[in-house]
Amino acid sequence: MTTPGRGLHGHVLDTLGPEITAGEYPPGSVLRTDELAQRFDVSRSVMREAVRVLESMHLVESRRRVGVTVRPTSEWNVYDPQVIRWRLAGKDRARQLRSLTVLRSAIEPVAAGLAARHATADQCAELTQCALGMVANSRGHKLEEYLVHDMAFHRVVLDASGNEMFARLGDVVAEVLAGRTHHDVMFEDPDPAAVTLHVQVAEAVRAGDAVRAEELTREITVGALQELDILAP
Amino acid sequence: MTTPGRGLHGHVLDTLGPEITAGEYPPGSVLRTDELAQRFDVSRSVMREAVRVLESMHLVESRRRVGVTVRPTSEWNVYDPQVIRWRLAGKDRARQLRSLTVLRSAIEPVAAGLAARHATADQCAELTQCALGMVANSRGHKLEEYLVHDMAFHRVVLDASGNEMFARLGDVVAEVLAGRTHHDVMFEDPDPAAVTLHVQVAEAVRAGDAVRAEELTREITVGALQELDILAP
DNA sequence: CGGAGACAAAAAGTCAGACTTATTCATCAC
DNA sequence: GTGATGAATAAGTCTGACTTTTTGTCTCCG
C-alpha cells in the first residue's frame, strides 16, 4: 500500500501492529523493548523506532521502569490508515466494516452535496466516466472491473467536495468497497438499483443539484448499510 | 494535551511538527537527519525516532541518499489528533476550523440519530446535565463554564452513538468548540437559539426520537457553519 | 501497627562511534 | 545517445556504555 516493510522497523511493525490491533495483547499488557528486540532479531535502536510509531498511533504507551503498555481500544487513533488496514486484516473485520460503513453514510451524502457545488468540469467528466464504467461492468461477473470504477467514483466525489477532511477518506472508502467485494458478499453481479443511483449522482453533480446529489448518495449508503444488515442482522 | 514533551524526541516534535504543518518547509523540501540533530542538539538516535513519527503521520518521507522530504499536504494524516492540534495552532487556523466544522455538520447529526437509539440511561442523564449546564451559563459572560458543558454535551452524543469512529471525534469537536470560544468569535453570550436546540436534542435522545435528534443536531451544525460564514464569507 | 523516608533494582532514555547499504549522479566507453 | 562503472552521500543498523526516572521494598521511628 504505502510501501510496506520499508526498513527493519517497518518489518517489525508489519507483525507487531496487526498483533496489537487484533487484541492479542489485551489492554494493559506490558511489553519490554529488549525482549521485543530479541524476538524480532533487531537492535534496540530499531525496536525503539517501531515503538515510537506505535506510540504515535496511541496503540501503546512507553513509560520508564514499567515498559511498553498496550492502551485501551478507545484511545487508538482509529483514523490512521495504517491502523485501519491492520484491523481490516484482523479478526473483527466485520465489526470494522460496519463502523466504517456507518461513517460513510454520514460523510458521503454531505460530500456529494458539496461536490455538486464545487466540482470542476474535469471532475464531472471523470465522475461520468466512472459511472459509465460501472454500468459497463455491472453484468457478467466482472466484479473486479466494476470495483475499480466504483472506488474511483467515490474517490472523485470526496475529492470534488473541496473539503480536505472528506478527501482524505478516499482511501478508507476504497478499502471498504474492496473488502465488500473480496471477502464478504458480492458473489453475484451488483445491485442494478445501486448502479442506476451512481449514474444519477453523476448527473446531479454535473447539473449542480446539491440537494438531489445528497439525497441520491444517501440512498446509496443506506443500501450499503442494508447489505451489511442482511449479512449480520 | 496527551502529555507533550515526553522525552527528547517529543520536544523535537513539538517544534518540528508545527513548523512542517505550518508550511515552513514547502512540500518537496529536504531535511537532513544530521543537521536536524545538530539544530536540536540531540543525538541521531533521538532525531531518527522523531523522524519516524513524522513519517507515520505521512508528513515526511525518508529515503536513502536523499534525506527526509516533506510530503504534499494532500498526503498528510489530517485525522491524527496531533496533526490537527499543530495545524490549529498554526497559520491557517481559520481554514482548518472551516474544514472541521463541515466535518462536524456531516457527522454529528447522524451520531445524534444513532444516540437516540443506543444511548443508555446514564448517558441520557449526563446529556441532560450538560444541557442544563449550558442553560445555566448562557447569560452573563460565563463563556468558559458554558464551553465546558458544550464540549461535554457533544462528546456524550458522539460516545452514545455507539460508533467507534464517531466517538473518536470527541476530541476534535472539543478543539473546534474551544477554538471558537477562545480565538475567533464569541465575545458575547452564546446564541439563545443554539442553547434551546441543545436542550431539545437531549430531550429527543432521551425520548428515543432518532429523526428529531438528527434534525435538531443538523440545525446546530448549520448554525455553526453560518457563524463561520459571517466571519469569513 | 502504620507511615515516612531511604535504598536498590529495573527498564526506558540517551549518546557516541563505527560500520553497512542503497541510491544517485557523473563519468566514461561503446 | 545509451549503457555500464564507480565514487560520493545520507540514511540505516548495530553495539555498548552510561543516565534518569520510577517503583517496590525495606527500614526506622512514631
The reply to whether the CB atom of residue B9 sits less than 7 A from any atom in nucleic acid chain C is: yes
Number of H helices, E strands in chain B: 11, 3
Mean pLDDT of A167-195: 87
Predicted pLDDT at A1: 46
What CATH number should be reported for the domain whose range is B92-231? Answer: 1.20.120.530
Question: Scanning the structure block, which residue is given the C-alpha cell 508545527?
Answer: B18
A8-75: CATH topology is Arc Repressor Mutant, subunit A (1.10.10)
Phi first, then psi: give them for residue B162, nearest 5 degrees: 80, 0
Confidence class of residue A2 from pLDDT cuts 50, 70 and 90? very low
CB contact under 8 A, A165 and B100: yes
Cell digits of residue A54? 506505535
Confidence class of residue B2 from pLDDT cuts 50, 70 and 90? very low
The reply to whether the CB atom of residue A6 sits less than 7 A from any atom in nucleic acid chain C is: no
Q: How confident is the model over A40-97, as pLDDT tens digits?
A: 999 999 999 999 999 999 999 999 999 999 999 999 999 999 999 999 999 989 899 9
Predicted pLDDT at A5: 61
The answer, yes or no, to whether residue A3 has pLDDT greater than 80, is: no
What CATH number should be reported for the domain whose range is B7-75? Answer: 1.10.10.10
Residues A202 and A224: beta-carbon distance below 8 Å: no
**Residue A60 β-bridge partners:** A70
Predicted pLDDT at B101: 97
The answer, yes or no, to whether residue B32 has pLDDT greater than 80, is: yes
The answer, yes or no, to whether residue A119 has pLDDT greater than 60, is: yes
The answer, yes or no, to whether residue B64 has pLDDT greater than 70, is: yes
Selection from B120, B220, B103 nearest residue B172 by Cα: B103
| Average pLDDT value for chain B | 94
Nucleotide nearest B66 (Cα, C1'): D10
Predicted pLDDT at B161: 98
Domain ranges of chain B: 7-75, 92-231
CB contact under 8 A, A79 and B166: no
- DSSP letters, A18-59, are HHHHTTSS-TT-EE-HHHHHHHHT--HHHHHHHHHHHHHTTS
Terminal Cα distance for chain B, rounded:
32
DSSP at B183: I
Predicted pLDDT at A92: 87
Q: What is the spatial distance, in angstroms and rounded to an integer, between the CA atom of A12 and the C1' atom of C20? A: 20
Q: Is there a shared CATH topology between the A8-75 domain and the A92-231 domain?
A: no
Q: What are the residues whose beta carbons fall under 8 Å from the beta carbon of A95, sequence distance 6 or more?
A: none
Residue A129 CB burial class (10 angstroms; 0-12, 13-18, ≥19): middle
Mean pLDDT of B86-101: 93
Confidence class of residue A228 from pLDDT cuts 50, 70 and 90? confident
Confidence class of residue B73 from pLDDT cuts 50, 70 and 90? very high
Nearest by CB to residue B52, choosing from A9, A76, A78, is A9
Confidence class of residue A187 from pLDDT cuts 50, 70 and 90? low
Angle at CA of residue A160, ends A158 and A166, nearest 5°? 35
Which residues on B lie below 8 Å from A168 (Cβ)? 74, 76-79
Distance CA A29, CA A127 (A): 48
C-alpha count within 13 angstroms, C-beta hemisphere, residue A130: 23
Which residues on B lie below 8 Å from A111 (Cβ)? 106
Residue B8 CB burial class (10 angstroms; 0-12, 13-18, ≥19): middle
Mean pLDDT of B187-194: 87
Which residues on A lie below 8 Å from B114 (Cβ)? 102
Residues B19 and B25: beta-carbon distance below 8 Å: yes
Predicted pLDDT at B23: 97
For chain B, the residues whose C-beta falls within 8 A of a C-beta of chain A are 2, 9, 45, 48-50, 52-53, 55-58, 73-74, 76-82, 99-100, 102-103, 105-107, 109-111, 114, 163-168
C-alpha count within 13 angstroms, C-beta hemisphere, residue A202: 27
CB contact under 8 A, A78 and B48: no
Q: How confident is the model over B78-89, as pLDDT tens digits?
A: 999 999 999 999
Looking at per-residue confidence, does B192 or A184 come out higher?
A: B192
The answer, yes or no, to whether residue A198 has pLDDT greater than 90, is: yes
